[in-house]
């Protein structure tokens, strides 16, 4: 509870080994994360969905053609 209102906590976000693998990932919030697990933790903290946009560091050029399917990144990311 915070100020009398229920609040979600993110102390125990569970991540698989694959989600913990270190790699730069540009996410839909414009930030670069070091793993899928880091994105998962941030989603919990912010309480909104953060999608994976493309592998690598965010460059500020967030064009529609840079977007890749969420499933493609989850399952075909090297």
26 falls within a domain:
yes
Average pLDDT, the chain: 77
3 falls within a domain:
no
Q: Which domain holds residue 41?
A: 17-76
Rg for the chain (alpha carbons), in Å? 14
Q: pLDDT: is 19 or 74 the higher one?
A: 19
Tokens 């990311």, residue located: 77
pLDDT tens digits, one per residue of 25-49: 999 988 999 999 999 999 988 888 9
8 falls within a domain:
no
The pTM (predicted TM-score) of the whole model is: 0.66
Q: Please choose, from the candidates 74, 8, 6, 13, the residue with its C-alpha nearest in 3D space to the C-alpha of residue 46.
A: 8
The rounded percent of the chain whose pLDDT value lies above 90 is 41
Q: Please report, for the domain that includes residue 45, its CATH number.
A: 3.30.60.30
């Amino acid at each position: 509870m915070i100020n009398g209102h229920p609040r979600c906590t993110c102390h125990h976000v569970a991540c698989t080994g694959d989600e913990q693998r270190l790699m730069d990932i540009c996410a839909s919030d414009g930030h670069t994360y070091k793993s899928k697990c880091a994105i998962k933790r941030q989603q919990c903290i912010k309480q909104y969905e953060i999608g994976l946009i493309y592998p690598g560091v965010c460059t500020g050029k967030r064009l529609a053609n840079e977007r890749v399917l969420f499933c493609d990144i989850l399952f075909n990311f090297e």
